[in-house]
């Protein structure tokens, strides 16, 4: 499976987080999504992140209750450079057909 996925520049990952006190590995709860924003990773309610497709790009999925569910997302960040009239995107959303 991994070899086939690599042909598309895809991989396999285990959605997880760590216990804040012990550092132990924990499976990601169903209602939580891993979010990258400003080079920082946090854990946010899935419902809040998944409902903002113009702001967050799903980058990881898990099969739950018979359907594909996003478990990781990357925030699309706009930045303005001094003197410029354009905003630049650090992460670009793919265009949808």
The structure's pTM equals: 0.71
Among 59-63, 81-85, 92-96, top mean pLDDT goes to 59-63
Q: By percentage, how much of the chain surpasses pLDDT 90?
A: 47
Nearest to 42 by CA among 20, 14, 9: 20
| CA terminus-to-terminus distance, the chain | 28
Segments making up each domain of the chain, as ranges:
2-89
**What integer pLDDT is reported at residue 83 of this predicted model?**
67
pLDDT band at 79 (very low <50, low <70, confident <90, very high): low
Surface-to-core class of residue 49, CB atoms within 10 Å of its CB (0-12 exposed, 13-18 middle, 19+ buried): buried
CB atoms within 10 A of CB 91: 14
Inform me whether the pLDDT recorded for 81 exceeds 80: no
Strands 67-75 and 56-64: antiparallel
């Amino acid at each position: 499976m991994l070899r086939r996925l690599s042909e598309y520049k895809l991989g396999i990952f285990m959605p997880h987080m760590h216990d804040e006190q012990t550092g132990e590995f924990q499976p990601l709860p169903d209602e939580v999504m891993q979010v990258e924003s400003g080079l920082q990773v946090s854990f946010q309610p899935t419902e809040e992140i998944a409902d903002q497709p113009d702001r967050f790009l799903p980058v990881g999925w898990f099969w739950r209750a018979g359907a594909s569910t996003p478990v990781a997302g990357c925030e699309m960040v706009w930045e303005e450079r001094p003197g410029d009239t354009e905003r630049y995107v650090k992460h670009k959303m793919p265009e949808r057909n």
